Structure 1
């Protein structure tokens, strides 16, 4: 698919670096959201509106449906629609993972298998092939990869360090041991080192424990993590993060995010599922008394960005959150 063969000069940017667009997928009226369509569409309107205040949005929409136009309007500055066929809205896990170098971008199209075959994914797995042919992506090279890597399963600090949850990775690709997986990740993403924790997924999370529900880089040398319902589990997660070291052998500064213990304990409500876009942090809100606290803590970690709440409660009913529902398209390096 791609003319690019040498990835050695490419870098996987951190999410806080400059973006050209945020990629979203409008809920399919005939898909998993059909029983709760009005509520999820209202939440997507709020998410699109929040992102458009800061940057361009590329929105995949179902072929033949006009529901997104009825809710968002026909023509919006900065909003670009692409008609496509897809199974579900979780484009973080099947959208392109984009590496950058000076003046060029390389989008990696990893295999998507519906989180280990749990859900139908044939159409989702073809989305990147469709994007690669679309004029909006003419200046990005696409390359396919056989590995089953989901965007929510990896977290990068922009300086060659990748954070993963071993529990998820081993479940997804049991035919690779940790060293073999780290080699493949490093080779494809041009990494210095893969950092791993090993924790069970949140209740209701059928991704087998994506890292973006647990811990996120907030600076190259700092990580924010989700406090868990069980205190012992939180201590274990904190201890594993404390044991990590950067490329120079230094520990990371750690910051906890509150646990929304007044939400449904069987759903994966996580404030670590925030989205970084140009000039802003979009923080999931769960109608919890801890929503404001989560916004305040992230505002302290990103003092140069606007912090805005976006709906997250409905998304959790299908096992995800706002970060799971989005994928950033970074700009090429200058």
Structure 2
């Protein structure tokens, strides 16, 4: 009987924190007409602004379908590297690799199963065949090992502190439309084996009406070892109010893998944001894709930011809250410059800045 391949953890690999140094950031180019209105032109401009801001900090790769290659190359600044990398949509956090590093300086990746956030039971589009090949292609481009994980999981469903602690939500990872045959203990063991973590902190739910089934990266993330930022609502009439307090209760009653109590920083959520009539009318309507209707509430959150080497790129969503969120993030990241990017067009597609980016960690001295 063949011997199973040793897990990443058994081989010494682990996932570093997002706030650790990067070599690069990976993105994809939006063009899907049932996700992005008006032929994705407004979304493409938002993606250009995100890529431009991150490129101040590290190399940015943007994967593009062939038919949009010239357009993307003309729109993106010269320092951004445009590569042909076909996809079904543009959510690199979820369809791209989860990178791992080794103490000896090697880089590897985890190739999770992907079913478009639920497959035929609540998934957001069909098919997702091109998305499933992205991780394999990036592994080939970089010439690094690829560990195939026997579990459906998206990158936005997890955050790590780089010191053994992972945070996620029960709503997503224990959802029957992902891995109905796995219980919580089995899922925890897979996370330990493939990400090299020791402690898993389970928050009950993600943000209200998050169409990813509650990705943690829209609700809560690590900003330093022992420190997290949590989206927050004081409005008792808003369903998000109860979700935030459930999460806070867990965070304040647990310890990380090093035995530390967590310091929780509250980041106010924007006022409820809704799809407007003209925003919905610019979309193709397909039976195989998630409907986006006038009046639908969107899961807006300032926690959906990207931590680069020298910048933090945050979404600008609500003029009444943007400055407060900016000030809090700048205080949390005194050694980085916080850059706000108008991000409503990304939110209209169902996610935000963290969802469209994926960091590639910097390698060690043996590179």
Q: Distance in 1 between matches of 2:46 and 2:139?
A: 28
Using the size of structure 2 for normalisation, the TM-score is 0.84
Question: In the alignment, is the contact (CA less than 8 A) between 2:298 and 2:350 conserved in 1?
Answer: yes
CA shift for structure 1 position 201: 3.8
- Could you give the per-residue CA deviations for residues 296-317 of structure 1, whole angstroms, max 9, x where no partner exists? 1011111111111122211111
CA shift for structure 1 position 44: 1.0
- Could you give the per-residue CA deviations for residues 169-225 of structure 1, whole angstroms, max 9, x where no partner exists? 11122321111110111111111111111125422x211000001100111101100
Q: Distance in 1 between matches of 2:87 and 2:251?
A: 36
CA shift for structure 1 position 234: 2.5
Aligned with 2:263 (options 253, 257, 267): 253
Question: In the alignment, is the contact (CA less than 8 A) between 1:262 and 1:289 conserved in 2?
Answer: no
Aligned with 2:223 (options 218, 221, 246): 218
What is aligned with 2:292? none
- Could you give the per-residue CA deviations for residues 127-153 of structure 1, whole angstroms, max 9, x where no partner exists? 11222222xx12x22222221111000
Instruction: Determine helix, strand or coil for the equivalent of 2:329.
Output: helix
- Could you give the per-residue CA deviations for residues 214-252 of structure 1, whole angstroms, max 9, x where no partner exists? 100111101100014443333222112212211243320
What is aligned with 1:127? 134
What is aligned with 1:162? 166
Instruction: Determine helix, strand or coil for the equivalent of 1:207.
Output: coil
Q: Distance in 2 between matches of 1:113 and 1:157?
A: 27
What is aligned with 1:321? 352
Matches within 5 A, 1:37-186: 37-65=40-68, 66-72=70-76, 76-77=78-79, 79-101=80-102, 102-117=104-119, 118=123, 119-120=125-126, 121-134=128-141, 137-138=142-143, 140-171=144-175, 172-186=178-192
Question: In the alignment, is the contact (CA less than 8 A) between 1:26 and 1:61 conserved in 2?
Answer: yes
Q: Distance in 2 between matches of 1:29 and 1:248?
A: 44
Query: Which segment drifts farther, 125-134 or 314-323?
Result: 125-134
CA shift for structure 1 position 81: 1.7
Residues 247 and 281 (structure 1 numbering): CA distance in 2 closer, same or farther, change over 3 Å? same
- Could you give the per-residue CA deviations for residues 56-79 of structure 1, whole angstroms, max 9, x where no partner exists? 001101113221123225xx13x2
Aligned with 1:290 (options 321, 345, 366): 321
CA shift for structure 1 position 5: 4.2
In the alignment, is residue 235 of structure 1 matched against residue 245 of structure 2?
yes
Matches within 5 A, 1:183-198: 183-198=189-204
Structure 1 runs not aligned, ≥5 long: none
Q: Distance in 1 between matches of 2:271 and 2:7?
A: 48
Instruction: Determine helix, strand or coil for the equivalent of 1:85.
Output: coil
Aligned-pair Cα RMSD in Å: 1.8
Q: Distance in 2 between matches of 1:188 and 1:206?
A: 26
Instruction: Determine helix, strand or coil for the equivalent of 1:82.
Output: strand
Question: In the alignment, is the contact (CA less than 8 A) between 1:28 and 1:34 conserved in 2?
Answer: no
Question: In the alignment, is the contact (CA less than 8 A) between 1:31 and 1:87 conserved in 2?
Answer: no
Instruction: Determine helix, strand or coil for the equivalent of 2:118.
Output: helix
In the alignment, is residue 310 of structure 1 matched against residue 313 of structure 2?
no
